[in-house]
């Protein structure tokens, strides 16, 4: 069907049973939009089943209601991820947009308990979605977006997706450990909010004092997480956050320690964070091609562990866009 530009097509399986609709839902019939269920109506599973049985694969909602759909889908994200009838692109859309929405608010209010809880609740769907396919198709959809310039929320989200894809490929981490690592990746830059805006948002070169202040942000992240007492992260995850700028040759920061002496979680996050950072547009540098970033990593075995880089290449090779 050809959906009018003021509507958004939604797969029928993306409707959640026994939930009150916060928007009108239409079906496409004889070239026209026909109201199926109105706002404030509760939809039962039998109603959704009838749609499918009658051959209706997609419904449509107003384009302005996409935000309302995300609010409706967020508490049911786990259910949608586990539903085999929901196409992977819709699962990924819900996870990606919800994660970015929560993070965007959290970076403004990093100690907000409700936002912290919402972030924790989306972590399991992130992990389950990436683990749901051996060919990394969910990761491809999770990384999709028209704008690939740097911003803290999408940077943290994409770093999380890369991190879990890489960590899960080793088959050595439990679901709980992957959840911990996902949370660490989502929060790794939260300490940037403690850095003065005039330094954090500066476009030109830093002075030496400004550079030193910016390099404290991993420590600030851990400090903020501990001080807030609303995040439950294990020691390895906290070390990973604090060390996401460290390198194997001790030229990183904030402590100039050897990355290779730290837990594998720290090595994974340091590498995926670096990869994501260099492959998007920044105010002070152009985005680089993923091939070139990986080549540099492979050419500098003293900075990043070669086994992790090679494994990451295997993960990326399963993505059509790479």
Helix (H, G, I), strand (E, B) or coil at 152: helix
Give the pLDDT score at 43: 94
Is the domain of 55 the same as that of 196?
Answer: no
Tell me the longest C-alpha to C-alpha distance in the chain.
67
Give the pLDDT score at 293: 96
Is the domain of 122 the same as that of 242?
Answer: yes
Which CATH number goes with the domain that contains 138?
A: 1.10.3210.10
Give the pLDDT score at 169: 94
Residue 218 located in a structural domain: yes
Element holding 172 (H helix, E strand): none
CB count in 10 Å sphere of residue 81? 23
Q: How many helices (H) and strands (E) does the chain have?
A: 15, 6
Tokens representing residue 117 in the block: 């809880």
Give the pLDDT score at 233: 95
Is the domain of 106 the same as that of 34?
Answer: no
**Count: domains in the chain:** 2
Is the domain of 181 the same as that of 282?
Answer: yes
Q: 248-251: which pairs have CB atoms within 8 A and are 24 or more residues apart? A: 248/301, 248/302, 248/303, 248/304, 248/305, 249/302, 249/303, 251/303
Give the pLDDT score at 189: 97
Angle (CA) 91 94 95, round 5°? 85
66, 99, 120 — which closes off a domain?
66
Is the domain of 46 the same as that of 194?
Answer: no
List, in order, residues 6 or more apart from 2 with CB less than 8 Å away.
none
Tokens representing residue 140 in the block: 């491809």
Residue 71 located in a structural domain: no
Is the domain of 92 the same as that of 205?
Answer: yes
In the block, residue with structure tokens 């995300």: 70
Tell me the per-residue pLDDT of 140-179, one tens digit each, with 9 for 90 and over: 999 986 556 678 999 999 999 999 999 999 989 999 999 9
Query: pLDDT per position in the chain (322 positions), as tens?
Result: 677 789 999 999 999 999 999 999 999 888 889 999 999 999 999 999 999 899 999 999 999 999 999 999 999 999 999 999 999 999 999 999 999 999 999 999 999 999 999 999 999 999 999 999 888 999 999 998 655 667 899 999 999 999 999 999 998 999 999 999 999 999 999 999 999 999 998 888 899 999 999 999 999 999 999 988 899 899 999 999 999 999 999 999 999 999 999 999 999 999 999 999 999 987 777 899 999 999 999 999 999 999 999 999 999 998 865 5
Residue 111 located in a structural domain: yes
Instruction: Indicate the DSSP class of residue 25.
Output: E
Residue 322 located in a structural domain: no
Query: How far does the chain reach from its first CA to its final CA, in angstroms?
Result: 31
Tokens representing residue 65 in the block: 């209601």
Residue 76 located in a structural domain: no
Residues 149, 204: contact at Cβ < 8 Å? no
Is the domain of 235 the same as that of 296?
Answer: yes
- The residues facing 98 across adjacent strands are none
In the block, residue with structure tokens 């999408």: 154
Is the domain of 45 the same as that of 94?
Answer: no
Rounded Cα distance between 16 and 130, Å, is 21
Tell me the per-residue pLDDT of 52-91, one tens digit each, with 9 for 90 and over: 899 999 999 999 999 999 999 999 999 999 999 999 999 9
Residue 105 located in a structural domain: yes
Instruction: Determine phi and psi for 189, rounding to 5 degrees.
Output: -105, 10
> Domain limits at 51?
1-66
Is the domain of 183 the same as that of 154?
Answer: yes
Residue 302 located in a structural domain: yes
Give the pLDDT score at 320: 62
Cα torsion 72, 77, 82, 86 to 10°: value is: 50
Is the domain of 298 the same as that of 177?
Answer: yes
Residue 254: is the preceding peptide bond cis (ω within 30°)?
A: yes
- C-alpha closest to that of 57 among 67, 46, 48: 48
CA dihedral (6, 75, 114, 224) positive or negative: negative
Residue 114 located in a structural domain: yes
Strands (DSSP E) contained in the chain are 7-11, 19-20, 25-29, 32-37, 42-43, 58-62
Is the domain of 58 the same as that of 114?
Answer: no
Is the domain of 94 the same as that of 57?
Answer: no
């Amino acid at each position: 069907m050809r959906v009018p530009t003021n509507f958004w097509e939604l797969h029928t399986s993306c409707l959640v049973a026994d939930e009150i609709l916060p928007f009108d839902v239409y079906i496409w019939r004889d070239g026209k939009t026909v109201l199926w269920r109105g706002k404030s109506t509760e939809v039962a599973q039998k109603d959704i089943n009838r749609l499918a049985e009658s051959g209706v694969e997609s419904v449509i909602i107003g384009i302005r209601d996409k935000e309302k759909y995300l609010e409706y889908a967020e508490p049911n994200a786990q259910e949608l991820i586990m539903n085999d009838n929901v196409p992977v692109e819709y699962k990924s859309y819900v996870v990606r947009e919800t994660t970015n929405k929560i993070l965007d608010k959290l970076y403004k209010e990093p100690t907000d308990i409700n936002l912290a809880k919402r972030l924790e609740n989306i972590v399991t769907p992130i992990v389950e979605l990436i683990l749901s396919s051996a060919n990394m198709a969910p990761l491809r959809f999770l990384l999709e977006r028209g704008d690939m310039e740097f911003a803290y929320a999408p940077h943290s989200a994409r770093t999380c997706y890369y991190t879990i894809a890489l960590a899960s490929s080793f088959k050595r981490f439990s679901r709980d450990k992957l959840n911990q690592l996902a949370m660490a990746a989502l929060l790794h830059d939260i300490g940037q909010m403690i850095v003065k805006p005039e330094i954090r948002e500066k476009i030109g070169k830093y002075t030496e004092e400004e550079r030193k202040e910016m390099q404290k942000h991993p420590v600030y992240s851990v400090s903020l997480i501990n001080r807030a007492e609303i995040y439950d992260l294990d020691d390895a995850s906290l070390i990973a956050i604090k060390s996401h700028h460290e390198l194997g040759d001790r030229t990183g920061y904030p402590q100039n320690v050897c990355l290779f002496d730290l837990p594998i979680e720290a090595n994974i996050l340091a590498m995926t964070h670096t990869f994501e950072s260099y492959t998007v547009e920044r105010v002070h540098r152009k985005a680089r091609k993923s091939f070139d970033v990986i080549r540099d990593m492979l050419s500098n075995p003293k900075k990043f562990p070669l086994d992790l880089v090679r494994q990451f290449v295997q993960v990326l090779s399963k993505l059509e866009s790479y």
